[in-house]
Amino acid sequence: MYLYNSATHKKEEFQTHTPGRVEMYTCGPTVYHFAHIGNLRSYIMEDVLEKFLRYEGYDVNRVMNITDVGHLASDADTGEDKMLKGAKRENKSVMDIAKFYTDAFFDDCAKLNIKTPEVVQPATGLIDEFIKTVSALIDKGYAYLAGGNVYFDTSKLDRYYVFNDHDEEDLAVGVREGVEEDQNKRNKNDFVLWFTKSKFEDQALKWDSPWGVGYPGWHIECSCISMKFNGEYLDLHCGGVDNAFPHHTNEIAQSEAYLGHPWCRQWFHVHHLNTNSGKMSKSKGEFLTVSLLEEKGYDPLAYRFFCLQSHYRKGLVFSWENLDNAAGAYNKLVKRVAALTGTEGGVDEEAAARFKEKFLTQVGNDLNTSMGITCLYDVLKAPVNDATKRAVLASFDSVLSLSLLEKAAALREKEAAQAKSAASAGGFTVQGEGDPAIDALVLQRAEAKKAKNFAEADHIRDELKAQGVEVTDVPGGAVWKRV
């Protein structure tokens, strides 16, 4: 597999520290509000990446944090703690907010077929690990105390800007939006490892530490959680592109200072979901959630399909029209899969192997999910039997996770029930060889003819003919057979 590495700015052959095993880390949500669908785009693409690595034969250990303390509003070291902001908004405790929105996040993930990682660790559960690591960084000379807080000293690094070589003026205090000058810092890019003087009198969560009562900075959490559950060598770190600076930059600085050797070899960043008015953000007020999509009648998997049609390193523009187009294409795809009802012959293993090899090559080229979708259509058009098509589609869907065969089975059951209902009402009787999907198409053809929509009737007739089905109209109904 070849994957673009944000740290080297080029596509590289994917390699791991331990052959055959991937230590993978995903930046999880800050659980102060619902995840919007822009957030969830990143988790969808990371989910496909994990599943593709498993498809290639890797043993994957995926770790995700849950940020329930320490993430300030600016993503740097300024502003209000996001968890406290959520608690104030809803007049609940921080822990109640964390529990509610953690559950909501994983409910959304389930609706989108996003697999839960092997390890999910809330930050509040590893305070002792954070204190141990911060103490070690002080001992090594990479951190200092000032104004009651503990800071990481970026001047001790040979290179701080890992993902981009910024000009100093570009990141000067007061230039970057949301950043205020912290007089305690020796260097403007230094960042807080541990707060011992709360920025707010009513800071909810505090712990004893060698430096006084306080709480961890956001960045130290991910490093410590990964080092505990992934080990000293991380193969693959994932997150949204907006996390590259300062969050991931700071993770690298403190992790490598603590370990004394290179930490993570591969960085995977998913680009933004935008609306016509710009980047989707919770700070702008109303935002789009999976629940809102459902309220408007969309299957969440239509949104997953929408995301997979685009490359993860390209910004994706959301509009209701774009989602409508994706939902229509997804429904048509499910309908075509539902029509694969042939039972003659077994799986052509040679043909299946060729399809799978192409899928591995196409998707393995920097997680090209749009080509993965194309592979689905290639299988549907191929001159192989239905058993082979179903087997290959199921194989591909273990990565793409669009529930194609499950949705197709549900569609056949629905159409069969509709056909049975029409027949029992004295409407139109369909006689055939016991295939509900064909029964339903024959019924749809009859309804189109009754409505004088002859173009649709001819289209359905051609679709039946393509499936090797001959229909004969009889008084009160129709009879069909395979020829």
Q: Kindly state whether residues 129 and 24 are assigned to the same domain.
A: yes
**Residues paired with residue 473 on neighbouring β-strands, in sequence order:** 478
Average per-residue pLDDT for the chain: 89
Residue 413 forms part of a structural domain: no
Q: Kindly state whether residues 330 and 433 are assigned to the same domain.
A: no
pLDDT digits over 345-371, tens only? 899 999 999 999 999 999 999 999 999
pLDDT at res. 247: 93
pLDDT at res. 422: 60
Q: Kindly state whether residues 25 and 145 are assigned to the same domain.
A: yes
Domain of 62, in residue numbers: 2-282
**Pick from 331, 327, 117: nearest CA to 238:** 117
The residue among 282, 309, 338 that closes a domain is 282
Q: Which of 32-36, 61-65, 248-252, 424-428 has the lowest mean pLDDT?
A: 424-428
Q: Kindly state whether residues 271 and 238 are assigned to the same domain.
A: yes
Q: How confident is the model at residue 232 (pLDDT cuts 50, 70, 90)?
A: very high
Residue 316 forms part of a structural domain: yes
CA–CA dist 293, 40 (Å, integer): 13
CA–CA dist 190, 286 (Å, integer): 34
Backbone angles phi, psi at 283, to 5 degrees: -65, -15
Q: Which of 81-90, 182-191, 376-385 has the lowest mean pLDDT?
A: 81-90
pLDDT digits over 131-167, tens only? 999 999 999 999 999 988 999 999 999 999 988 754 4
**Pick from 352, 91, 51, 74: nearest CA to 204:** 91
Q: Kindly state whether residues 299 and 278 are assigned to the same domain.
A: no
The residue among 282, 313, 342 that closes a domain is 282
pLDDT at res. 179: 46
Residue 414 forms part of a structural domain: no
Give me the number of domains the chain comprises: 3
- For residue 147, the tally of other CB atoms under 10 A from its CB is 12
Q: Kindly state whether residues 299 and 390 are assigned to the same domain.
A: yes
pLDDT digits over 289-348, tens only? 999 999 999 999 999 999 999 999 999 999 999 999 999 999 999 999 999 988 888 999
Q: Kindly state whether residues 277 and 297 are assigned to the same domain.
A: no
Q: Kindly state whether residues 386 and 439 are assigned to the same domain.
A: no
pLDDT at res. 353: 97
The residue among 405, 427, 461 that closes a domain is 405
With 0-12 / 13-18 / 19 or more C-beta atoms within 10 angstroms meaning exposed / middle / buried, residue 137 is: buried
Residue 412 forms part of a structural domain: no
Between β-strands 469-474 and 273-275, what pairing exists: parallel, antiparallel or unpaired? unpaired
pLDDT digits over 460-470, tens only? 888 888 888 88
**Pick from 7, 219, 20, 203: nearest CA to 94:** 203
> Which CATH number covers residue 135?
3.40.50.620
The two tokens of residue 379 are: 């299988």
Mean pLDDT across the stretch 202-222? 89
Residue 334 forms part of a structural domain: yes
pLDDT digits over 105-138, tens only? 999 999 999 999 999 999 999 999 999 999 999 9
With 0-12 / 13-18 / 19 or more C-beta atoms within 10 angstroms meaning exposed / middle / buried, residue 438 is: buried
**Pick from 239, 188, 186, 194: nearest CA to 219:** 194
pLDDT digits over 389-413, tens only? 999 999 999 999 999 999 999 988 8
Q: Kindly state whether residues 249 and 354 are assigned to the same domain.
A: no
Q: Which of 113-122, 249-258, 421-430 has the lowest mean pLDDT?
A: 421-430
Residue 410 forms part of a structural domain: no
CA–CA dist 336, 378 (Å, integer): 12
101 pLDDT above the threshold of 60: yes
Contact 338, 437 (CB under 8 A): yes
pLDDT at res. 167: 40
What percentage of the chain reaches a pLDDT higher than 90? 65
Residue 22 forms part of a structural domain: yes
Q: Cis peptide leading into 246, omega within 30 of 0?
A: yes
Q: Kindly state whether residues 323 and 457 are assigned to the same domain.
A: no
Q: Kindly state whether residues 315 and 440 are assigned to the same domain.
A: no
The two tokens of residue 448 are: 């189109």
Q: Kindly state whether residues 96 and 137 are assigned to the same domain.
A: yes
Calculate the alpha carbon distances from 434 to 335, 346, 482 in Å. Answer: 18, 20, 11
